[in-house]
Structure formats: structure tokens, C-alpha cells
Structure 1
């Protein structure tokens, strides 16, 4: 049965590092899996934001 080079590589990698899949799951949870958003809290936060000036680096100190 044919097995590609990539499949062989992945099989060998998983044999060498048996904890690889668990490490990947932890990394995903750290960066991507988020808690559900409370829509009432989000609405309150958006309403309390201070507007940003159109060009933030220019401040007219003298005029």
C-alpha cells in the first residue's frame, strides 16, 4: 500500500514525540478557544468607549 513521504514523516514524528497532539491542543486552546461573549457586557463596553481623534499623532498644543 502506498504511503506518501508526508504521511511517513508525520508517523515518525508522532512516534518520536507521543505528546505532540496534546501540545497542539494546548496551543490551540491558548490562542483560539475563547469563552463565550456576554452580549450585555459587550454592549456596555462599546457604549463606554471614548472616541478616537481622526489623526491621533497630531495634537494642537499651541492653538
Structure 2
């Protein structure tokens, strides 16, 4: 491979790299926003109750059993 060879970057990758260079705090802001909705502490008792209350699914859910 010649020394002047430049690896290909898609337009989307170029856009993201340019956006990150213009606003260096972008990733930390994204993590802070994510933590508001997704990264919450889990209640172990509630999770255990959800697991025990789960109803087993049949092998083929669209099969209607005749009564």
C-alpha cells in the first residue's frame, strides 16, 4: 500500500468526527442524558418478583388450542 494511501471514511463517520471535534463535551452530555432514562439503580426485590411471576410461553404462540 502506498504511503499516501488514505483509509476510506463514510460520510456519516466524517460527520460524527467533525461534530465531535466541534463540540468535545458531546460524549459526556450523551452519557448524562442516557443515565436519566436508562442507567438507573435496579430494585432487586422487584426484579425477583418479576422473574417469579413470569408465565412460560408456549412453543408456538399463534397456535390456538381448541376447547
**4+ runs deviating over 2 angstroms:** none
Match of 1:4 in 2: 10
Q: Secondary structure at the match of 1:18?
A: coil
User: What TM-score, normalized by structure 1, do the two folds share?
Assistant: 0.59
Which structure 1 residue ranges, 5 or more long, are not aligned?
A: 44-63
Match of 1:33 in 2: 39
Which structure 2 residue ranges, 5 or more long, are not aligned?
A: 1-6, 50-67
User: What TM-score, normalized by structure 2, do the two folds share?
Assistant: 0.56
Q: What is the CA RMSD across the aligned residues, in angstroms?
A: 1.9
Q: How many residues align?
A: 42
Q: Within 1, Cα distance between the matches of 2:15 and 2:44?
A: 43
Q: Within 2, Cα distance between the matches of 1:8 and 1:22?
A: 20
